[in-house]
Each structure stands twice: as C-alpha cells, then as structure tokens.
Amino acid sequence: MNIDGQSGQNRREVVIVDYGMGNLGSVANMVKYVGGTAHISNDVNIVANAAFLILPGVGNFAYGMDCLQDLGLIESLNAARNSGSHVLGICLGMQLMTQWCEEGMRDGLGWFDLKTLRFPRELSTGERISVPHMGWNQVDAKSDASQFKSVPVPSRFYFVHSYFVDGADADECQATTVYGDTRFASAIGKGNVIGVQFHPEKSHKFGIAFLRDFIRR
C-alpha cells in the first residue's frame, strides 16, 4: 500500500515494516504529514534496500520476533541496518532491537546490548501502580541527542507499554522517562539506528517535530 501525499522530488520515501504488529496507518499518515511518502511493506527486498525504515509495533515481544522470523524479515532488517539505512523503531519496534526480553524470555535482534523488562506493579513504598504505563509523560533528552534538536522543551510524548528498556545509564541512551520508581530509556540511538518507546504518531507537535527531523536526516 502506498500513501503518496504531494508529488515532489524532495519527499523522502519511508518504508514502514508490516509484520502484523503495528498501527501502520497512523504512522504512515504522520510520515505523510511531515513531508515524506510512506510505503507499507513486508517484502524482504524492499525492506533490505530502504533508505528510511520504520519498525513500528504494539504487543507481545516473543510473538513479534516470531512474525519477523516467519516473514524472513530479520535478515532484511539486518541488511538495511548494516548498509546504512536510517532505521526508527517505535514502541515494540524499539524493544525488538534489544538483546532480550523478559516477556517470553526471548532474544531480540541484538542491535543494542540492553534488556527489556516488565514494569514492577508496586512502588518501593508498597503502593500499587497501574501497568501498562499509558498516557502522556515527559521525555528528558540528552543535550547531544541530535534527533531531538527540533522538539519543543519540555518534551511530552504519548506512551502505551508494560515493558521498558533497562538502559537509562547506557551510552546508547538518548532520552529518559520516569514512571513510578523506574527511570528507563525512552530513546536509544547508535549510528543510523534510533529506537523510541513513545508513539511519535500520537504525540502531536512533539511527534511531528521528531518525525520531521528523522526523515530529514
């Protein structure tokens, strides 16, 4: 499926990976809104050769990895990453980039030497908290995080997740967020790869600024 938007040579084509786990229409519409064209695909050759690639995702980590494997997309994603494609993982897509997840005790793509863990249901005081973490929350970007250079400060993005990337103090961490007692990596980055736990496509002016910068890399 193509969402073409306005014609023009300067519009970047962004391939959105369809492996049955993401809100693809919303992501595609936001890509169009910020000046790109969106091509939703699970074709292994299209994914492998994309210059700009978004790996979205909502749901179970182990099932997501199974879907990528069954469709032959793991090899294509690795090829795109290794060839210098600009890759953005959103929510589950970011988590799949880590080494391992507590959900299903399953290995991920291993692009980041980080783990994905479940939020505790209680604070240190014993008070219960709601899981999943759902709604708007502040994102504190590092001063040198170039992917947030145009995002208004303070930055607030929309989250929906029960698991988090345990990497707030890692070198690859680009931004952090606090929920309950947990400070987690809400954005990670290394080279041409970015992962975000929040949903830029649901985050209004903050998400618009973030995705616009991504397609202009």
204-215 vs 24-33: helix crossing angle, rounded to 10: 70
Say whether 173 is catalytic.
no
Residue pLDDT, tens place only, 130-160: 999 999 999 999 999 989 999 999 999 999 9
pTM: 0.93
Of 39, 67, 86, 91, the catalytic one is: 91
Is residue 205's pLDDT more than 50?
Answer: yes
pLDDT attached to residue 23: 84
Residue pLDDT, tens place only, 154-202: 999 999 999 999 999 999 999 999 999 999 999 999 999 999 999 999 9
Region 2-215: CATH code: 3.40.50.880
Say whether 75 is catalytic.
no
Q: CB of 187 within 8 A of CB of 174?
A: yes
Amino acid letter, residue 37: T
Q: Across-strand partners of 133?
A: 161
Say whether 91 is catalytic.
yes
Backbone angles phi, psi at 90, to 5 degrees: -115, 125
